[in-house]
Amino acid sequence: MKRTDRLTRADFNARAHLGRGFVVSERALVGAVPTIAITPVADGRTGAYESNVQDTWRMVQKVYDLITNEVTLPDGTPVRVVVAPEIVYGPRSGAIAQEYYAGQGVSANIWVSRSWAYSDELMSACMGVGSSEWQQAAYGLNQTDRPGAVWLKAFTAAMDEKKRPIFSIYNPDLESETGLLPPYVEERILRFARCAAAAAEMRGKNYLSVGNVSMGIIGSDVRRNLMQQYLGMGTVSFDMVGVRGRIDKGFYDHEELEQAFKFMKKRFKILYGKGKRPYSNDELLRECLAMTLVVRDLMIGNAKLADSSVGKRQGFQADVEWAQGANAIAAGTQGQRQWTDLYPNYDLTESLLCSSFDWNGYRAPMIVATENDSKNAIGMLVALLLTGMPQMFADIRTNWTPASVKKATGKDVKRVAPDGFIDKRNSGAGALDYAVDVFALLRGGKKMSVQEVAASLRKDGKLQQKLMDKACKGTTYMAAILEYFPGDGLSSHYRSPGGIPMTAYRYNAVGELLTCSVIEGQTIDLPKDVADRISAVTNETWPETYWVPRDMSSFEYMSRIGPNHDANSFGLIGADMLTLNAMLRVPVDMHNVPSDQIFRPTLWDRFGGDDFRACQTLGPLYG
Ligand code: MN
């Protein structure tokens, strides 16, 4: 075989003398676009093959169109879908598919069949080295003359015996092959594809820990092995002294800072503190914005910081290494207390980076967790990847029963919150989108899934403008209470509208085990005077969201959720969270997802549906 790609001494010499620079990537973060394969299989017998070939490819095209049309990453990049070069009907055609997929960077695969096939043998051929990390699903046609179910059951049983989890997709009703896929099949394929893409997107990227443990909060103890083994993610630690150093040395884009400063002044009501404060008003805003630019640059890098001509013009020393960033798909800022005793808190930084917009316009939200609570950041990352929408970090501040409200305010809230509600009020930061009911923004939005809302927003500039206007108008930045934050700060205050479907979630570390809790519910509108009173006795500078879980009291939620923080997503995404956690082998310790929506690999049934035992037997996906 001729080896035309062999490197020569001249190639190495060229590399040895090439200066380094900032290599611009296509997307904000470096990494391959998640790629899902579709593998058609069929009965290989001459005659049987020929009678299946056309309709099998038709099934494949429907699955292909569905995923390529509907599954998108938060930055709008469509998930890649590749298809086997030919129908797999034996070990050799299986190997051809495998070889092709290896070159395409596939990490998930959907087998599609309307006929019998030699399931175990095909699987063996297509399950090469490393593929235990792939996500697998199989879709068999429900028809009488074609034994899609027979193949599907034989195949998933073979996979179960080999402890290779596989999601099984089979329509309850007989399927017509003309027209679209049945809604049930569509929903399951999309759930599988969305979750597999999320798993692939986070893999190989990093969590950036800015600072360390905040005020003894166990969530901010970044567990590097858990990140790596369950999520396939690296962890980068950055001491907060580096943030101070970058600001002092002016190592950020000064033109962008001015643009940001103007944007903040124009778009937001800002209530600065009274009396003697550590900073003048403009100094405080500039300092908070500099922190914001620095944290963003630390996460995703910034080509301008490597450019000496920009540095010269703006007065900083360009540095290629410093400009790189950590390729971080999520981050957390410790803030309290070593930083906030001296300097402004990170509320403005977190609230803006976690939102879907800033002075540069509409963009993919980022994940920056308060108090470096990395276990909350994991949930926020997962939910962002599943929905494409910003996520809301929250302190589980107070459980309010109607009786407590009555006592405190004399008002009866039994109608809006018969089983109580949770005051979700982070200590100053929250994605600004949560000042808005995004489902009410667009016509028919109340009937849409959160992914449909996200898709509409991504393609409609007017809608984006509407969201940004409402979020800015609904938010007031308010000076921090110096008793808590001697270095001052600007907290994002808003009150979330009621009636928003909202899912709360939380990851927990129990020794070397990661678990997840996920509870669907909705926000509520309290009577204004009741909300004002609650705010006044709690902290009126912080963002507030009143939330009720579904089919349980708020007290039960309060009692059973792990720590002091949870995070929250627009939409009802419990079923997606269950599927993704099964993919990562993270058991779910509490959920309220209806049983007919639960979609996990068939292997879970072999453990009697016991999520903990299935996950324990398999171990972490990258363990
Ligand atoms: Mn907190």
Scanning the structure block, which residue is given the tokens 């003894």? 216
Residues in the chain: 623
Domain boundary residue among 202, 219, 253? Answer: 202
Alpha-carbon span 97 to 124, nearest angstrom: 12
* Cβ-Cβ contacts under 8 Å for 329 (sequence gap 6 or more): 29, 201, 202, 205, 206, 207, 233, 367, 381
Query: How sure is the predictor about 91, in pLDDT bands with cuts at 50, 70 and 90?
Result: confident
Q: Which residues surround ligand 1, an ion (CB under 5 A)?
A: 395, 427
- Find the 370 Cα to ligand 1 centroid distance in Å: 7
Model pLDDT, residue 129: 40
Check whether residue 126 and residue 253 sit in a common domain. no
pLDDT at 121 over 80: no
Check whether residue 466 and residue 577 sit in a common domain. yes
- Find the 211 Cα to ligand 1 centroid distance in Å: 15
Q: Do the beta carbons of residue 490 and residue 477 sit within 8 Å?
A: yes
- Find the 506 Cα to ligand 1 centroid distance in Å: 14
Alpha-carbon span 207 to 330, nearest angstrom: 5
pLDDT at 2 over 70: no
In a domain, 220, yes or no: yes
Check whether residue 261 and residue 170 sit in a common domain. no
- Find the 491 Cα to ligand 1 centroid distance in Å: 13
| CATH code, 252 | 3.20.14.10
Q: Do the beta carbons of residue 234 and residue 202 sit within 8 Å?
A: no
Q: Do the beta carbons of residue 63 and residue 113 sit within 8 Å?
A: no
In a domain, 258, yes or no: yes
Check whether residue 174 and residue 247 sit in a common domain. no
- Find the 566 Cα to ligand 1 centroid distance in Å: 9
Check whether residue 139 and residue 224 sit in a common domain. no
As beta bridge partners, residue 238 has 210
- Find the 563 Cα to ligand 1 centroid distance in Å: 10
- Find the 545 Cα to ligand 1 centroid distance in Å: 15
Question: For 24, which DSSP code?
Answer: -
In a domain, 376, yes or no: yes
In a domain, 2, yes or no: no
- Find the 332 Cα to ligand 1 centroid distance in Å: 12
pLDDT, mean of residues 214-227 = 96
Give the count of domains, the chain. Answer: 2
Check whether residue 183 and residue 289 sit in a common domain. no
Check whether residue 388 and residue 322 sit in a common domain. yes
Give the percent of the chain with pLDDT over 90: 93
Domain boundary residue among 185, 202, 219? Answer: 202
Hey, is 208 helix, strand or coil?
strand
pLDDT at 275 over 60: yes
Check whether residue 182 and residue 218 sit in a common domain. no
pLDDT at 4 over 80: no
pLDDT, mean of residues 459-482 = 98
Q: What is the DSSP string of 566-593?
A: EEEEEB--HHHHHHHHHHHT--EEEE--
Check whether residue 345 and residue 309 sit in a common domain. yes
Check whether residue 393 and residue 487 sit in a common domain. yes
- Find the 397 Cα to ligand 1 centroid distance in Å: 9
Scanning the structure block, which residue is given the tokens 């593929």? 131
What's the distance, Cα to Cα, between the start and end of the chain in Å? 38
Alpha-carbon span 35 to 105, nearest angstrom: 6
Check whether residue 176 and residue 320 sit in a common domain. no
Q: What is the DSSP string of 488-549?
A: --EEEE-BPPSS-EEEEEEEEEETTEEEEEEEEEEE-PPPHHHHHHHHHHS-TTS-BEEEEE
Type of residue numbered 321: E
- Find the 376 Cα to ligand 1 centroid distance in Å: 11
Angle, CA of 581, 583 and 585, to the nearest 5°:
65
For the record, the structure tokens of 234 come out as 């690296």
Model pLDDT, residue 124: 65
Residue 100 belongs to domain spanning? 35-202
In a domain, 18, yes or no: no
For the record, the structure tokens of 421 come out as 């509600």
Give the percent of the chain with pLDDT over 70: 98
Model pLDDT, residue 1: 52
In a domain, 69, yes or no: yes
* Cβ-Cβ contacts under 8 Å for 341 (sequence gap 6 or more): 486, 487
pLDDT at 450 over 90: yes
What residues are annotated to the active site? Answer: 371, 395
For the record, the structure tokens of 206 come out as 């990093």
Predicted TM-score (pTM) of this structure: 0.97
Check whether residue 63 and residue 212 sit in a common domain. no
In a domain, 57, yes or no: yes
Alpha-carbon span 618 to 580, nearest angstrom: 15
- Find the 349 Cα to ligand 1 centroid distance in Å: 15
Domain boundary residue among 202, 231, 249? Answer: 202
- Find the 423 Cα to ligand 1 centroid distance in Å: 13
Spatial CA neighbour of 418 closest among 430, 432, 403: 403
Model pLDDT, residue 120: 77
| CATH code, 138 | 3.40.50.1070
Spatial CA neighbour of 427 closest among 344, 378, 371, 360: 371
Q: Are strands 545-549 and 421-424 parallel, antiparallel or unpaired?
A: antiparallel
For the record, the structure tokens of 535 come out as 């705010």
In a domain, 233, yes or no: yes
- Return the beta strands (E) in 342-462 as ranges: 357-358, 361-362, 368-370, 391-400, 421-424
Alpha-carbon span 414 to 401, nearest angstrom: 9
pLDDT at 171 over 80: yes
